[in-house]
Amino acid sequence: MKNKMSFFKIRIALNVVMVFIGLNVVAQNKTVSNIPTNLKWSERMALSEMKRYPEAYQIDEKKEPKWDYVHGLVLTSIEKLYKKTNDKKYYDYIKGYADATIDNDGVIKSYKFDTYNIDMVTAGRILFNLYDTTKDSRYLNVLQLLRKQLQEQPRTPSGGFWHKKVYPNQMWLDGLYMGEPFYAQYTVTYENGANLDDIAKQFELIQLHATDKKTGLLYHGWDESKEMPWADKETGCSPNFWSRSIGWYMMALVDVLDYFPKEHPKRNELISYLNNIANAIAKVQDKSGLWYQVTDKGGSEGNYLESSGSSMFAYALAKGANKGYLPKKFKKIACKAFKGLTKQLIKTDADGEITITQACAVAGLGGKPYRDGSYSYYVNERKKDNDPKATGSFILAALELNK
Strand residue runs (E) in 265-342: none
Q: Is 30 helix (H, G, I), strand (E, B) or coil?
A: helix
Q: How far is CA 118 from CA 103, 166, 302, 387, in A?
A: 22, 11, 31, 20
What is the distance between the alpha carbons of residues 272 and 177, in angstroms, rounded to a whole number?
Answer: 18
Residue 73 neighbours by CB distance under 10 Å: 28
Question: 314-351 b/e with 16+ CB inside 10 Å = b?
Answer: bbbbbbbbbeebbeeebbebbbbbbbbbbebbbeeeee
Return phi, psi of residue 219, to 5°. -70, 150
Q: What is the DSSP string of 323-346?
A: TTSS-THHHHHHHHHHHHIIIIIE
What is the distance between the alpha carbons of residues 292 and 106, in angstroms, rounded to a whole number?
Answer: 42
Active-site residue identified among 60, 119, 174, 387? 174
**Which positions ≥6 away from 45 have C-beta within 8 Å?**
354, 356, 391, 394, 395, 398
Question: Is-contact 275 326, C-beta < 8 A?
Answer: yes
Question: Is-contact 164 118, C-beta < 8 A?
Answer: yes
Question: Is-contact 236 189, C-beta < 8 A?
Answer: no
Return phi, psi of residue 354, to 5°. -110, 145
Residue in 199, 75, 201 with CA at minimum distance from that of residue 147: 199
Alpha helical stretches, state H, 156-260: 173-190, 196-210, 243-256
Question: Is-contact 75 123, C-beta < 8 A?
Answer: yes
Known catalytic residue: 351?
no
DSSP category for residue 172 = E
Q: Which residues are catalytic?
A: 174
